[in-house]
A and B are shown apart, each in its own frame.
Chain A
Amino acid sequence: MASSTTAPQATLFMRPTQRTGLASWLTTVDHKKLGILYILSSFVFLGMASVEAFIMRLQLMRPDQQLVSPDTFNQLFTMHGLTMVFLAIMPMGIGFANYFVPLMIGARDLAFPRLNAFGYWVYSLGGLMIYSSFFLGGAPDMGWTGYAPLTSLSANPGMGVDFYAFGLFISGIGTTVTAMNLIVTIVNMRAPGMTFMRMPVFVWMMIITSFMIIFAFPPLTIAFVQIITDRTFGTLFYVPAAGALPILWQHLFWIFGHPEVYIIILPAFGMISEMVPTFSRKPLFGYPVMVLASILIAFMGFAVWTHHMFTTGLGPVVNTAFSLTSFIIGIPTGVKIFNWLGTLWGGNIRFTTSLLYAIAFIITFTLGGITGIMVAMPTFDAQVHDTYFVVAHFHYVMGGGALLTFLGAVYYWFPKFTGKMLDERLGKVGWAFIVLGFHTIFFPQHLAGLMGMPRRIQTYPAGIGLELWNFMSTFGTFIMGIGLIIFLINVIQGFRSGKPAGNDPWDARTLEWATSSPPPYYNFATQPVVNSLDAFWAYKHPETLNVEPIDPRTAGREYDAGGIHIPGQSWWPLLASVMIIVGSYGLIYDNWILAIISGFAFIFTIFAWAFEGVGGHHVHPELQGGAA
């Protein structure tokens, strides 16, 4: 069995085996490398979206400014929105999951390593494809929500919408297959003894998120297909002159769009639920309730979509129903806040940078939740819908909620990625700038909205009371910008000259800290075995949890009798993704020959992928060095 080390089969390419260099990254199927690629890519996209936001804030700093044209402004906020949602924040959560879900459940990789690589490549190439539109005649300009009929050929003849639909369609496929992969991994590859109720909360959040993704993305995919066929093949899905209903787009979009909010925030909940217990040195308070609340949120998340459509005239009955479901979804969210407070209560709290981010998250998210309840009232929402109040609300939830958490998560897990520490003092300075800047940007936007400022306007008149709030908001971008630059400097410094971290610098609770930093490519020398929640803590401090002490790092030798299977690297996921992208350019430019050729090439890569097989080899690592 150990002989399944493939003698090179009759494949077109020799199976790549590079461990270092560019080819190793292009052909990698290792979840850790892909996780790092995901996180780096998402931060690059985050940077681009931040620059777009900065230009918009400059334009809005004073009334009646003409720094950028309305058309450019429309492109900026469209790209900012779709980048943040689809290319930065969501993939950031998925990137962390890629890296840590297998480590946390004691697995060697995801269930389908090559599929994972494919998911990453279509996401990143799809994102770059959308960005290429800036140089090819203009980016999409109809808002990231792409409301029909703004996407129809008659209202929007430019190419931007095509890039929007194709790019997000493609990167959506990547997200969906990665979610499927995570589900199979979590169901099937948990370490012996790790029952569902012994899984780290982050893993729970990721399986729930993944289920939401697989149910939420198909309607969006279909919606994108509808725009694509409308624009490329002349169908009539969103052509009002043919009797089409523009409102249908909004339904399809928000059936995806509201779950998407939780797809973004649940991984953040999971991270908070790892960081807060670690730094309070206590287990998560009310673990079963947390899990149950998240499942409830996931279910309810599919039953609240029309609260994005309260002003579209759906009538009082529909508005009442969806208003009530939206209120109800606030309940489990509130419970979570209290549970985190309960975790901190009675702890021995170390104020590391990650914990500071977690605290900032709790505050910001509470405020975002309160405004969330407000906008869930259809009659009040009629006033603030599509205004800066709503802009402020969702930035409190997604920026202050998810993004602050991810920054904290970088501080928490950087030692595991690299084996080096980030500078805590610089980290705290950066934290102060970021959090202060964040609130200076977004708090005044509540008031701007209440004072009558619609969103997505390129300028506003003087003299109706909007100057102060907009100026404050723009001022805040400078503060937050400084904070983000400090963060960046800290990360670069950490890579180059961070202090050695050791395997478990935080005295943490979950299995990823049981292996070395950074983990070897096979993750664990022997299959970890688990006999309680917080498995690694239970090993280090068994007396505190009243469990049998077992060393998760060595207990499972029997399970590795045949050695550890390491899947082979492959070019096919990358090539398949490239073919999809090339074909899309062909369709966008009505170049049918290119589209058809790359279509066949894609089918070929898929067959080559299938016949290449999993491949790989088995390793028998010696258990290195002693204990923690």
Chain B
Amino acid sequence: MPIGWLWRALPVALLTFLLAGCNLADEQSVFAPVGPVAQEQLGLFMWTWYLSIPVMLLVGGVLVYVIVRYRRRRGDDSIPGQTHGNVLLEVVWTTIPVIIVILVAVPTVRSIFQLQTFTEAGEGDVAVTVTGYQWWWKFEYPQYGITTANELHVPVGARIVLDLQSADVLHAFWAPRLGGKVDLIPHQDNQLWLQADEPGVYHGQCAELCLGAHAYMRFRIVVEEQDEFEQWVQSFQEPVVQTVSSDQRVSQGRTLFAQKGCIGCHSLDNYAEGVSYGQPGFPELTNFGLRHTVGAGVLDATLENVAQWIMDPQTVKPGNYMPTLWAEDDPNREEEATAIAAYLLSLGADQASDRAQTVAMGGN
């Protein structure tokens, strides 16, 4: 029975079937590119994938043929001809891989110079300085003088030129649907450019082991229309910290945010000059109400989740540096955390309608 043939055919059939039938175009999938960089990279993969099919068929076919044709028959102890080689054949099958390699090498080299040549951010490009911290992301926009954390907003169709820095150990910035990753290395200026041609919210993740909560070091890229993006930038340039709210809970949360020491680390005003709270080495929370997630992409930013995160960060994201502010048996724990969460979510809430819109667009 040609078991070997099944062997060869199965993986091929399986992958072809999966590529065709299964939903491989998921949130963080290489198969769902939304920009030219990811598109080019996927194209290279598909090209080698198609090239590899004849190779697999050749090797598999010969193997199956050999196994069937030259298997030992019962009682046959004959000694086959002791061929040591065949120059012509060997030349031919040295040439085959050479040709394949050339077919792969040409588009590869072209794409390297297209995608990896160092560029300055020019007119119409958005420059972002990305700094990796254990275990969150800082995004600075030198063009606009604003800073945010864990959620990168960019306009649709623009080239995003990222300067990659690390504050501690190695990280890697990877948003598969926009394009491949580049490492963040201390004392090294790395660069990556990406582009998204469809609005939406795209997943990203750290791809270089950074110990502790490495698995939870995620981020989102929010791709918006140009005017929405500008509005977002503006909201960061003039953040509203003292939200006037009739909601009792929000006011309580604002007080607790100071009392519990949150302001020791977290800025709410984009590190504006003359304001004493917050430190640059910690995620800022300006306009937190616009965020999609909390804890660097770990949970969706609902009131419940944010409260959960504030209350017990080590359960939500084991290993991270957020202190636990309440004793386990503190009766006020849940109430106070919810109040802080409500306060944070109220920041930038005047833009909440825009946010809903973006979520609707990126909700695939």
A and B touch in the complex (CB under 8 A): yes
Binding site for B on A (CB under 8 A): 66, 69-71, 74, 141-143, 147, 149-150, 155-156, 240, 243-247, 280-283, 285-289, 311-313, 315-316, 319-320, 323-324, 327-328, 330-331, 333-335, 337-339, 341-342, 344-351, 359, 362-363, 366-367, 370, 373-374, 377-387, 439, 443, 447, 450-461, 463-465, 541, 544-545
DSSP majority for the B interface?
mixed
Q: Is B7 an interface residue (CB 8 A)?
A: yes
Residue contact A149 to B27, C-beta cutoff 8 Å? no
Tell me how far the C-beta of B93 lies from the nearest C-beta in chain A, rounded to whole angstroms. 4
Contact of B215 among A328, A339, A359, A457 (CB under 8 A): A457
Q: Which residue of B lies closest to A367 (CB)?
A: B11
Whether the pair B112, A380 counts as a contact (CB closer than 8 A) is no
User: How far does the alpha carbon of A366 sit from the alpha carbon of B58 in the complex, in Å?
Assistant: 11
B356 interface residue, CB < 8 Å from A?
Answer: no
- Chain B nearest CB, measured from A449 CB (Å): 8
**Alpha-carbon distance A457/B210, docked complex (angstroms):** 10
Most buried by A among B56, B60, B79, B318: B79
Q: Does B104 contact A465, Cβ atoms closer than 8 Å?
A: no
List 7 tightest A-B contacts by C-beta distance, closest first. A382-B180, A452-B28, A465-B26, A334-B97, A457-B215, A313-B190, A338-B93
Of B64-72, B144-152, B252-260, B268-276, the one with at least 4 CB within 8 A of chain A: B64-72
What's the minimum C-beta distance from B320 to chain A, rounded to whole angstroms?
10
Q: Report Cα–Cα, A331/B94, bound state, in Å.
A: 7
B244 at interface by CB-CB < 8 Å: no
Contacts of A453 in B (CB 8 A): 28
B45-89 toward A: CB 8 Å interface, digit per residue (1/0)? 100110010011001101100110011100011111111111001
A321 to chain B, nearest CB (A): 10
Query: Do A150 and B40 touch (CB < 8 A)?
Result: no
25 A-B Cβ contacts within 8 A?
Answer: A71-B319, A142-B211, A147-B170, A150-B170, A246-B170, A283-B83, A324-B109, A327-B105, A331-B94, A348-B79, A349-B66, A373-B48, A373-B100, A377-B104, A379-B40, A379-B115, A383-B179, A443-B11, A451-B31, A452-B26, A452-B174, A456-B209, A460-B215, A465-B24, A465-B28
**Chain A residue at smallest Cβ distance from B25:** A465
The docked-state distance in angstroms from the alpha carbon of A324 to that of B179 is 22
Asked whether B355 is an interface residue with its Cβ less than 8 Å from the other chain, the reply is no
Contacting A at CB under 8 A, from B239-265, are none
A313 to B105, CA, bound (A): 20
Cα-based distance from A545 to B190 in the complex (angstroms):
61
Chain A residue nearest to B60 in the complex (CB): A363
Which residues of B80-125 are within 8 A (CB) of A?
A: 80-86, 89-90, 93-94, 96-98, 100-101, 104-105, 108-109, 111-113, 115-118
Contact B8 A363 (CB under 8 A): yes
Tell which of A246, A341, A454 touches B59, judged by Cβ atoms closer than 8 Å: A341
Contact indicator B78/A285 (Cβ below 8 Å)? no
Q: Residues on B close to A: CB < 8 A?
A: 4, 7-8, 11, 14, 18, 23-24, 26-31, 38, 40-42, 44-45, 48-49, 52, 55-56, 59-60, 62-63, 66-67, 70-72, 76-86, 89-90, 93-94, 96-98, 100-101, 104-105, 108-109, 111-113, 115-118, 164, 168-170, 172, 174, 176, 179-183, 185-191, 203, 205-215, 218, 298, 318-319
Residues on the B chain within 8 Å of A240, using CB: 186-187
Docked pose: A169 CA to B105 CA in angstroms: 38
Given contacts A311-B181, A378-B112, A464-B28, contact A366 B56 (CB under 8 A): yes
Contacts A327-B101, A377-B108, A452-B27 given; does A285 touch B83 at CB 8 Å: yes
User: B66 near A383 (CB under 8 angstroms)?
Assistant: no
- The answer to whether A379 touches B170, judged by C-beta atoms less than 8 angstroms apart, is no
Query: With A70-B215, A246-B170 known to touch, is A150 a contact of B209 (CB < 8 Å)?
Result: yes
Chain A CB count within 10 A is highest, among B23, B81, B185, for B185
Q: Are A348 and B70 in contact, with the CB atoms below 8 A?
A: yes
Q: What residues of A have a CB within 8 angstroms of the CB of B23 in the complex? A: 465
B215 and A331 within 8 A (CB): no
User: Could you say which residues of chain A place their CB within 8 Å of the CB of B207?
Assistant: 385-387, 454-455
| Extra 20 A-B pairs, beta carbons < 8 Å, given A313-B188, A452-B29 | A70-B215, A155-B211, A281-B79, A281-B80, A286-B86, A311-B172, A315-B118, A320-B113, A327-B104, A341-B66, A344-B63, A349-B67, A370-B52, A379-B40, A380-B108, A383-B179, A443-B14, A454-B174, A461-B298, A465-B28
Q: Please name the residue on chain A nearest to B191 by beta carbon.
A: A313
Q: Which residues of chain B are near A155, meaning CB under 8 Å?
A: 168-169, 211
With A323-B108, A451-B30: A348-B180 Cβ-Cβ less than 8 Å: no
In chain B, what residue has the closest Cβ to A370?
B52
Q: In the complex, what distance in Å separates the CA atom of A451 from the CA atom of B30?
A: 6
- Say yes or no: B180 contacts A379, CB within 8 Å: yes
